[in-house]
Structure 1
Amino acid sequence: MQNKYIKDLAWAISSPSLVNEQPGWPNIVDTSKDTWVTQWLSSLDADPSPLQQHLAKEKSHFIGTYFESLWAFYLASNPQYELISRNLQVNSKARTVGEFDFILRDKVTGGFIHQEVAIKFYLGFNKQNIHEFSDGKHIWLGPQCRDRLDIKLAKMINHQAKLSETIQGKQALESIKIDVDTDKLTPQLVLKGYLFYPQTQPVTPPKFCNPNQLKGSWLTLNDFVEHIEKDSSDAWALLTKPEWISPFSSSIEHNQSNIFFKKPDILRTAREKVLNEQRPWMIAYLTESKGYYTEIHRQFIVPDDWPHLYDE
């Protein structure tokens, strides 16, 4: 695949879930049986205009919204489903209670499906954790310390997936002619992304995490200085958020300013970014083959006092 948007779409569909289904949880969406997808993606790669037109309608450029838009395009194109509603708001008299990310009708069974969708990137470290969705020993935290795996799962499972059980949720569904008292509505979760493991200490994910999860690593800026001297990659790329989804690749002929070929250059640029912005930056380690630089590993470089913004 040559088109960046098509690569991201393919990743959104085929990448493994961060978590495995557990007793009492909503269903975890499995797209592995969608045999039609490969040919469909090939045709889109030849003519990506339908996807580009779809994405152009989005007003937000946040990575979560981008991923959700990719997923919406997949659902709208899926012959098994009718996409009935996206971001259906659930309101009380005083406030917005929540929203249904996606409401679908399964054309095979005739039943309705409620999907909650998210893409997340979490860095793990050792710290006592008594939260319901943890192993008690570790915390998995977003790079800017605003999000946690355990808290996100609690929200998705205990609140978002159960919106149809609330009075306000039932009223919202009635507005699109779904009566949950008579119509079957199945909640499902889509949680994709990466877990980043500290390179300097052992950390294990919670047992509910998918063993086939996508993995990266993280290092403090100080440790990165020592690490990069021993690294044998052909090149390195600093990734902006739009580049966080599918694995990075670039033609050798395509001169990109975020690709670095010398260790002093990537070290200097990474140090400037991390210190000036006081936040983690993602780096892709690249190998060169057949005229392309392709990602073989990704890593967050964090300030030496990270997670300095975090206070449990």
Structure 2
Amino acid sequence: MDANLTPEPINSYQTPAIRHLAWLCQAPQLMRSPITFDPTQYLPSNYSEILKDWDQKPEAAPPLLSDPPQRKLGFYFERLYQVLLEDLLGWPILLKNQQIKSARRTIGELDFVVHNRTDDRIEHHEIAIKFYLGVPESNGPTLWYGPNASDRLDLKTSRLLEQQSRRTQLPETIELLLESDITGPLTPRIFMPGYLFYPDNPQARTPDYVPDRHLRGRWMYILDAKTLDTSHWAVLNKPHWIGTWLQSEPPDAEHTLDALERVENKAAPQLFAVMREDRQTGNWLETDRVFVVPEAWPLRP
């Protein structure tokens, strides 16, 4: 892609799936590595025009974009990534979600094996979309937990680099690839966009391996959130954690208060978008995002 090309603002697209795909094309990643995959190095210079055409004429868009979005964010993210590879980059997908077995036992899975036509090589892509909340430790580094606290950024990064991206080196995988006439070695690539959410106080430390331009949000405990004016907040549910949110109607303050009550009563974190009105269009646009968590978080019940 032309490095001087300025992409269309994500909120210029009216179709949610197109906005999500546009975000995926541009989003910075949560880890820095020589094998990180950057779509902007390969996207055609007119990709914004392609997205705009799909937005205005849904019948011309790839069928995967018209399917109802799945609430399981990982599956929906995979679907968007497939459109990026096949329909924007024009790279054939040779294998997708291919299980690796040893003695009838599943020992892993390959997310995508693709033919990078630009560089004319076969690549193995491992992908994830992640949202982590930083919890400063009194005598150690900040730990970055997923909302349900069962996942951590340092553990996921290590697993991607040391296990998942190396699966094509396993004898079982080499045999599996040969069955599909794919010979190695394959070039490993990792794609992991997402957000880091910072507490207001104390200061959380960003890991050295996270790029400076990563996407940021805030997090707070429910009792702190209940002291604020949240009338301009909007509840964000999956799959709309992807991209930036916009809506034509003003935020529903009662809906937000109900969601805050659920956080307190059901002990489940909830993501919100902080909204402001765009005077030119009349739409309400996301300016920040906030995770609100139960008082006991990150302890799991």
TM-score (norm 1): 0.85
- Rounded to whole Å, the distance in 2 between the matches of 1:57 and 1:92 is 35
* Correspondence for 2:5: none
CA RMSD across the alignment? 2.2
Contact 1:114 1:186 (C-alpha < 8 Å) held by counterparts: yes
Equivalent residue letter for 2:288: H
Counterpart check, 1:10 vs 2:16: no
The aligned counterpart of 2:296 is 305
- Relative to structure 1, the CA distance from residue 59 to residue 223 in structure 2 (aligned partners, 3 Å threshold; closer, same or farther) is closer
Q: Match for 1:225: what amino acid?
A: K
Report matched runs for 1:54-203 at 5 Å. Answer: 54-55=64-65, 61-79=71-89, 81-127=91-137, 137-180=141-184, 184-203=185-204
- Secondary structure of the structure 2 residue equivalent to 1:73: helix
Aligned counterpart in structure 1 of residue 276 of structure 2, from 274, 283, 287:
287
Residue 260, structure 1, aligned to residue 268, structure 2:
no
Q: What is the deviation of 1:128?
A: 7.1
SS in 2 for 1:121: strand
**Aligned with 2:28: secondary structure?**
coil
Q: 1:20 to 1:274 in 2, by over 3 A?
A: same
Aligned residue among 264, 284, 287 for 1:296 = 287
Displacement after TM superposition at 1:291 (Å): 0.7
Taking structure 2 as the reference length, what is the TM-score of the superposition?
0.88
Taking the aligned partners of 1:296 and 1:277, their CA distance within structure 2 comes to 27
Which amino acid in 2 is paired with 1:15?
A: A
User: What are the superposed Cα offsets for residues 223-263 of structure 1, whole Å, 9 maximum, x if unpaired?
Assistant: 1122x14x7xx7210111221111110113xx8xxx324xx
Q: Does residue 1:274 correspond to 2:263, yes or no?
A: yes
Change in Cα spacing, 1:235 to 1:128, as seen in structure 2 (3 Å) is closer
Q: Shift in Å at residue 94 of structure 1?
A: 3.5
Please list every run of 5 or more consecutive structure 2 residues that lacks an aligned counterpart in the other structure.
1-12
Amino acid aligned to 2:244: P
- Offset of 1:309 from its aligned partner? 0.7
Equivalent-residue separation in structure 2 for 1:58 and 1:285 (angstroms): 26
Contact 1:51 1:73 in 2 (8 A): no
8 Å Cα contact 2:234/2:275 also seen in 1: yes
Offset of residue 48 of structure 1: 2.7
Residue type of the partner of 1:19?
M
50-59 vs 39-48, which moves further:
50-59
Structure 2 distance, partners of 1:213, 1:28, is: 14
Equivalent position amino acid for 1:120 in 2: K
